[in-house]
Structure 1
Amino acid sequence: MWRSLGKTLQIAATYMGTIVGAGFATGQEILQFFTRFGYWGTATIALATILFIWLGAKMMLIASDISAKSYEDLNKALFGEKYGRLISYFMLVILLGVTAVMLAGAGAIFYEHWNISYQAGLLATMAFSFLLLRKGMKAILAVNSVVVPVMLVFTVFVIIDTFNTPGAGRFTTLTTDYSVWAAWASPFLYTAFNLSLAQAVLVPLGAEIKDRKTIIWGSWIGGIGIGFMLLAGHIALSLHMPGIQQFAIPMGGIARGLGYYVQLIYIFIIFAEIFTTLIADIYGLTLQLQERLKWPREMLTFAVLAVCYFTSQIGFGTLLSILYPIFGLISLGWLLLIISKRMKLGGL
């Protein structure tokens, strides 16, 4: 029983750690996808949570049923040989771009907050990633088992402080100039982008776990955990609207008001969330490329890191503004296909 519980919690932690990246930690994702839509944000977060639970479980169960080696196997099972391969090519480009963004974000943290040069930050992050990924999925599970509890503790700290502040219930009354259609489209866009990227690690994870109950419970706990962190961030940001929109890192403005040491922990959390997404994406990319090229995994890991290093020279902000809108549209198409696809596999 305890072993099954441990596996369930590892799945949940890896799911949360993969979804919760740099945009989430900074507060920008929560602000753009939920808080700017006022009181609709709470309901749309609930919808996003349901989608994360349902589709996360669906992906991992199908991967387990077909013993998928990579996300291409999943896409072929869902959409057929021709379209599955085409979708996987898109995912490959998306993952490379997002991995470069994550690496650039790590370099920016070193430079802006720890007074270490951008290039040194990139190289240190790459070296640490390479060493960890030599251990494969075990390393990803271990890292998330440490990082995710820290994220949850910080989230609880933020929500307690928010509810002790006058006006804490503002998230229920906050108005917006955006249409209701834009508000309800937002959770689909948010879920689409994050799940299309998360399949890089959720598919091999599901293939390793053969127990269906463990996968389903892990998806429930992970999805609810993601929803809780989204809601906590939304409540905290709503309290400081509309002024908080002026900050590049909205949650940083909130953390600054909680004290020096809390702010230090917050910077660590941002880096840790970038790092968990980075190693998950690299792992998924190497599995995908290994099926095609038959190179040793360590060689492919080094090659992916090298490509991302040269791409990251463009800079974090520029990469983010150019690549993410394009990826969002492609990912929405993928989400609609996976929702509409009925399959005996996975049973969902």
Structure 2
Amino acid sequence: MWKRIIVVLQVAFTYMGTVVGAGFATGQEILQFFTRFGYWGSITITLATFLFIWLGAKMMLISSDIKAASYEDLNKTLFGERLGSWISIFMMLILLGVTAVMLAGAGSIFEENWNFSYQSGLLITIVGCFFLLRKGMNAILAVNAIVVPMMLLFTGIVMYNTFMTPESDRWLTLQTDHPLFAAWSAPLLYAAFNLSMSQAVLVPLGASIQDRRALKTGALVGGIGIGFMLLAGHIALSLHMPGIQQFAIPMGGIARQLGHTAQWIYIFLIFAEIFTTLIADIYGLTLQIRQRVKWPVSIITIIILIFCYLAGQIGFGPLLSTLYPIFGMISLGWLVLIIRHRRVEPVPRPRDRNNKP
């Protein structure tokens, strides 16, 4: 029983750590997809949470059924052999870009908050990634087992502080000028984007765990955890609307009110969330590339890190604004196909008449 509980928590924490990236931690994703739609955001967060529970479990279960070596195997199952291969190549290029964005974000944190140069921040992060990734999936599980509970604790502190503030119920009454269609399409876009991006690590994770019950329970706990952090961020941001929209890092303004120590912890958590997403994406990319070229894993990892370092010279902002909309468009098609996918039971092989039953 305890062994299954540990597996469930590993799945849940890895799921949360993969989805809760830099955009989530800064508050920008919550603001753009939910809070700007007023009290409708509270309702649509419920829909997003349901999608994360349902489709996260489905993705990992399909991966377990087909024993996927990488997310390319999942895409071939969803799109067919030929189209799935092309989709995987396209997603590999996009994930390379997203990984470069994460690395650039880490460099920016070192430069803006810790008195390091941007280049030093990139190099320190790259070295940390390389040595951790030598441990494979175990490193991803271990890092998320540390980072995610800290993020949950910090989120709980923010929520408690918000409820101790006058007008803390604004999340229930906040009005919006945005159309209702935009409010209800936002959770679909949000779930599609984050689920398709997280398949780089959730697919090999699902394939490595044959306990279907543990995968389902892990997706349930992870999805609820994501929903809790979304709602907590939404409640805190709603209290400071509309002025909070002027901040590049909205949650940073809220953390500043909790004191210098809380602000320092918050900056560390942003970096940690970037780092967990970074190593998860590099791990998934390494597995996918290794299916095509039989090079050593360490060589592929080094090549990916060098590419991301070179792409990171462009800067965090330009990379983010260019690549994310493109990835969002392909994610919607991926979401529809994984919803439509039905589990196919394996056909039993005919008995050999020469053998005894």
Please tell me whether the aligned partners of residues 61 and 345 of structure 1 are also in contact (alpha carbons under 8 angstroms).
Answer: no
Please tell me whether the aligned partners of residues 111 and 117 of structure 2 are also in contact (alpha carbons under 8 angstroms).
Answer: yes
Higher mean C-alpha deviation, range 251-260 or range 337-346: 337-346
Please tell me whether the aligned partners of residues 59 and 338 of structure 2 are also in contact (alpha carbons under 8 angstroms).
Answer: no
Give the gaps of 5 or more residues in structure 2.
347-357
Alignment partner of 1:131 is 2:138: no
Alignment partner of 1:9 is 2:9: yes
In structure 1, the partner of 2:160 is 160
Please tell me whether the aligned partners of residues 35 and 41 of structure 1 are also in contact (alpha carbons under 8 angstroms).
Answer: yes
SS at match of 1:205: helix
Structure 2 vs 1, CA of residues 272 and 345 (structure 1 numbering), >3 Å: closer, same or farther?
A: farther
In structure 1, the partner of 2:191 is 191
Cα distance between partner residues in 1 of 2:68 and 2:296: 19
In structure 2, the partner of 1:215 is 215
Cα distance between partner residues in 2 of 1:298 and 1:96: 17
Shift of 1:327: 1.1
Q: What do residues 68-89 of structure 1 show as CA deviations (whole Å, max 9, x unaligned)?
A: 1000111111221012112211
SS at match of 2:177: coil
SS at match of 1:241: coil
Alignment partner of 1:317 is 2:317: yes
More helix by percentage: 1
In structure 1, the partner of 2:175 is 175
- Which TM-score applies when normalising by structure 2? 0.96
Higher mean C-alpha deviation, range 319-328 or range 102-111: 319-328
Give the gaps of 5 or more residues in structure 1.
none
Alignment partner of 1:332 is 2:315: no
Q: What do residues 216-267 of structure 1 show as CA deviations (whole Å, max 9, x unaligned)?
A: 0000000000000000000000000000000000000000011000000000
In structure 1, the partner of 2:103 is 103
Please tell me whether the aligned partners of residues 91 and 196 of structure 1 are also in contact (alpha carbons under 8 angstroms).
Answer: no
In structure 2, the partner of 1:142 is 142
Cα distance between partner residues in 2 of 1:326 and 1:77: 23
1:236-315 pair list within 5 angstroms:
236-315=236-315
SS at match of 2:291: helix
Please tell me whether the aligned partners of residues 192 and 334 of structure 1 are also in contact (alpha carbons under 8 angstroms).
Answer: yes
Cα distance between partner residues in 2 of 1:189 and 1:96: 21
1:22-101 pair list within 5 angstroms:
22-101=22-101
Please tell me whether the aligned partners of residues 28 and 250 of structure 1 are also in contact (alpha carbons under 8 angstroms).
Answer: yes
Cα distance between partner residues in 2 of 1:234 and 1:134: 37
Please tell me whether the aligned partners of residues 65 and 345 of structure 1 are also in contact (alpha carbons under 8 angstroms).
Answer: no
Cα distance between partner residues in 2 of 1:64 and 1:7: 14
Structure possessing the higher radius of gyration over alpha carbons? 2
Higher mean C-alpha deviation, range 74-83 or range 313-322: 74-83
Please tell me whether the aligned partners of residues 192 and 328 of structure 1 are also in contact (alpha carbons under 8 angstroms).
Answer: yes
Aligned residues: CA RMSD: 1.0
Cα distance between partner residues in 2 of 1:268 and 1:280: 18
Please tell me whether the aligned partners of residues 57 and 216 of structure 1 are also in contact (alpha carbons under 8 angstroms).
Answer: yes
Shift of 1:153: 0.3
Shift of 1:342: 2.8
- Which TM-score applies when normalising by structure 1? 0.98
Shift of 1:344: 2.6
Paired positions, count: 346
Letter in 1 for 2:132: L
Shift of 1:345: 6.1
Cα distance between partner residues in 1 of 2:177 and 2:68: 45
Please tell me whether the aligned partners of residues 61 and 206 of structure 2 are also in contact (alpha carbons under 8 angstroms).
Answer: yes
Q: What do residues 43-69 of structure 1 show as CA deviations (whole Å, max 9, x unaligned)?
A: 110000000001110010111111110
Shift of 1:343: 3.1
Shift of 1:33: 0.3
Cα distance between partner residues in 1 of 2:34 and 2:186: 7
Cα distance between partner residues in 2 of 1:61 and 1:336: 17
Moved over 2 A (4+): 340-346
Cα distance between partner residues in 2 of 1:186 and 1:236: 19
Please tell me whether the aligned partners of residues 16 and 148 of structure 1 are also in contact (alpha carbons under 8 angstroms).
Answer: yes
